[in-house]
Chains A and B, each alone.
Chain A
Amino acid sequence: MTWSDIDAVVIGKAPDFFEGVMMPELFLADALGATGKPMFRVHTAGSVGGSTAIVASQLIQAGLHERVLTVAFEKQSESEAMWALSLPIPFTPPLHAGAGGYFAPHIRSYIRRSKAPDHVGMLVALKDRQNGIKNPYAHLHEHDISFDSIKESMMLWDPIRYAETCPSSDGACALVLGSEKVADDAMAEGRQPAWIQGTAMRSEPTLSAERDTVLPLGGALCAADVYKQAGITNPRKDVDAVEMYVPFSWFEPMWLENLGFAEPGEGWKMTEAGATAMDGDLPVNMSGGVLCTNPIGASGMLRFGEIAMQVRGTAGEHQVDGVRRGVGHAYGGGSQFFAMWVVGSEKP
């Protein structure tokens, strides 16, 4: 394909303050081949990479366009992400010292409720960092990582250690989405498309007495919606692999429960038993995930794109065999914005 094949461009990123350019899609429009075309800018906090891809897919689903280029990026080296995420907002409690400071109490609550042993978070970090070594696009390639090196790393926000935290990355991701006809043509040429079998988004307030930030209702409703569209009745059985947004190690067991892969309080047992490893029955974050690469605005789209690669069989060294249906997941804000899609090798 060339630029002339693209009908519209949908771009997403997290706060413009990270790079210091206001509404940068205006400045990027020409470089993204959007001249004379529709260009659309999405911003839904950390879930934005996922929701950008969903908004792009809906342009095709609605019959408006045949081929849409969707892009997400963040260049965090331009600023200091931890403090950029800790802006004091008048009349709002100052809960932040970076995202880790915000999420650590949620994790402590999870550990208390589930009685998960201390080492589960470290097991997630070890798995994801080892998966990342297989991914040439990962930011971190920690060849010497070990359980002990994680355990000995500095405690940043108890119980989150330095080695259980995502890096601050520069990066971008782009997907070309096509209509049924475009995908059929690709199929005829021997290029397996990843068929989008369902998309869903949910939002809830930052501060609300009804919220459960360990098992957010918005995340569960988002998963139920997207599974229904894709005909998934038993997620653990019907889904072959998952790319989920795990910026701090403990979010793997938490999201396994929120997305219906385990009962509440049981997710950590899947991690501990190795079910989420590359050779487990539900591999999670084969790419190394957010723990290896976190250009915030792109991180959600990377999850969506990586699971599409698994379905297409193009994931290279971190490919898992036989992924016929996979889930891409992103979340943002204070565990309050959710975006998911299900992609599969079969046309829905």
Chain B
Amino acid sequence: MRDIAIISFAQTPAQRAVKEQNEVEMLMPAIHGALGQVDMTIDDIGFTCSGSTDYLAGVGFSFVSTLDGVGPWPPIQESHVEMDGAWALYEAWVKLQLGELDTALVYSYAKSSPGDLPMVLTRQLDPITVAPLWPDTVSLAALQARALLDSGRYTEEHFAEVAARSRKSALDNPNAQLAWDRPASDVLAEEYHVAPLRKSDCAPITDGAACIILAAGDVARSKVERPAWIRGIDHRVEPIHLGLRDLTVSESTRIAAEKAGVADGAVDVAEIHAPFSHQELILRDAIGLGEDVDVNPSGGALSGNPMMTAGLIRVGEVANRISNGTANRGVAHATSGPCLQQNLVTVLEGEN
């Protein structure tokens, strides 16, 4: 495969509600921040790809307006996925593999604040048999957490440790929405939100945007000292029906991690897109991460979870750690759908 690297990443601070700006205005600092860091303009970009969903914008064709964020004139080569930006990055990576273009800009965004997010997400479910029951995201995740407890592999203490560690790590992340330093025992002292999950086991509701710039081979080397090379990337899906899956494992993540080549070398850092604490445990096992891996040093989705964007941010956070030399090889993961239905895994590496 052609060598493609992440050369720039920018995100907006994760916020509960960005009230003063529409989606385009919220997105602009991410796009132009990423371009500015590598002294590029949209004219230097070969391919543009974005990820978003109309259901959060509340408008059909909402991505059409946000394309104004890049200023697509003269006309550009561009595409859009109704998926997390991590999948937009996948499409851009495929496009660069064809060898005709050397650079790509990937962005994604969502404002969840105008609606009732757990209720909106019920519209993803089977419209005949499940959606009419309006089962919210937290309740579905709680079913999964209960199944995981019943498997005997993990306890509520493990959930609480993930929740506490994530918020503590987030103290070092200026873009985090939730950051605090309290022991896991404090989390366990909380009342159940939706048993067996406590509020601290759940990601916050977030508005936000992010942007990544990809470049191939020597173009990447000419732009930054230490590009974060994409050594492998793969994504897989499972049936949406919870009854057709073993919720205590993530088979699609396991396959994607294997295809992306996670096991081909040592992993220094991993950013896992787990909107609920127990999901980090399931995903760690599925990806095959050892105890020594630094997991979610950014605080992860538990510290800021902009829909359609939290997956792309995971990729950017790993790329930053490779580019600044604090890690040499890392894994980023993105998820979509109820209870980890669809998953993407990518392996990034620095050049020694």
Binding site for B on A (CB under 8 A): 14-23, 25-27, 29-30, 34-45, 51, 55, 58-59, 61-64, 84-85, 87, 89-92, 200-206, 208, 210-211, 216-218, 221-222, 333, 336
Q: A21-B123, A41-B83, A43-B63 are in contact. Are A217 and B238 (CB under 8 A)?
A: no
User: Bound complex: CA of A53 vs CA of B86, how far in Å?
Assistant: 20
Complex interface: chain B residues within 8 A of A333 (CB): 61, 64
Complex interface: chain A residues within 8 A of B235 (CB): 38, 40
Closest 8 CB pairs of A and B: A15-B60, A218-B75, A30-B239, A203-B78, A62-B97, A22-B123, A204-B75, A22-B55
B81 close to A26 (CB less than 8 A):
no
Q: Does B124 contact A (CB under 8 A)?
A: yes
A41 close to B68 (CB less than 8 A):
no
A309 → B minimal CB distance (Å): 25
Closest to A64 in B: B94
B227 → A minimal CB distance (Å): 20
Q: Does B351 contact A (CB under 8 A)?
A: no
B237 close to A87 (CB less than 8 A):
no
Complex interface: chain B residues within 8 A of A25 (CB): 82
Pick the contact of B53: A16, A42, A90 (CB < 8 A).
Answer: A16
Main secondary structure of the interface of B (DSSP, over half): mixed
- In this complex, the interface size class of chain B, counting residues with CB under 8 Å from chain A, is 35 or more
Complex interface: chain B residues within 8 A of A63 (CB): 1, 97
8 pairs, A vs B, C-beta closer than 8 Å: A15-B61, A16-B82, A23-B124, A43-B63, A45-B61, A85-B60, A89-B65, A91-B22
B251 → A minimal CB distance (Å): 7
B279 → A minimal CB distance (Å): 17
Q: Does B189 contact A (CB under 8 A)?
A: no
Complex interface: chain A residues within 8 A of B97 (CB): 62-64
A172 → B minimal CB distance (Å): 16
A26 close to B123 (CB less than 8 A):
no
Main secondary structure of the interface of A (DSSP, over half): loop
User: Bound complex: CA of A327 vs CA of B255, how far in Å?
Assistant: 38
Q: Does B139 contact A (CB under 8 A)?
A: no
Chain B, range 249-303, C-beta contacts under 8 Å to A? 251-252, 255
A205 close to B72 (CB less than 8 A):
yes
Complex interface: chain A residues within 8 A of B175 (CB): none
Interface string of B65-77 (1 = CB under 8 A from A): 1011001111111
Q: Does B95 contact A (CB under 8 A)?
A: yes
Question: Which residue, B64, B75, B123, has most C-beta atoms of chain A within 10 A?
Answer: B75
B98 close to A61 (CB less than 8 A):
yes
Complex interface: chain B residues within 8 A of A92 (CB): 65
Complex interface: chain A residues within 8 A of B1 (CB): 62-63
Complex interface: chain B residues within 8 A of A18 (CB): 60
User: Bound complex: CA of A117 vs CA of B21, how far in Å?
Assistant: 48
A51 close to B55 (CB less than 8 A):
no
B120 close to A22 (CB less than 8 A):
yes
A74 → B minimal CB distance (Å): 12
A182 → B minimal CB distance (Å): 18
Complex interface: chain A residues within 8 A of B131 (CB): 21
Contact stretch, chosen from B162-170, B217-225, B315-323, B334-342: B334-342
Complex interface: chain B residues within 8 A of A211 (CB): 73
Q: Does B54 contact A (CB under 8 A)?
A: yes
Complex interface: chain B residues within 8 A of A208 (CB): 73
B162 → A minimal CB distance (Å): 25
B78 close to A36 (CB less than 8 A):
no
Question: Which residue, A34, A40, A51, A210, has most C-beta atoms of chain B within 10 A?
Answer: A40
User: Bound complex: CA of A21 vs CA of B238, how far in Å?
Assistant: 18
B46 → A minimal CB distance (Å): 12
Q: Does B349 contact A (CB under 8 A)?
A: no
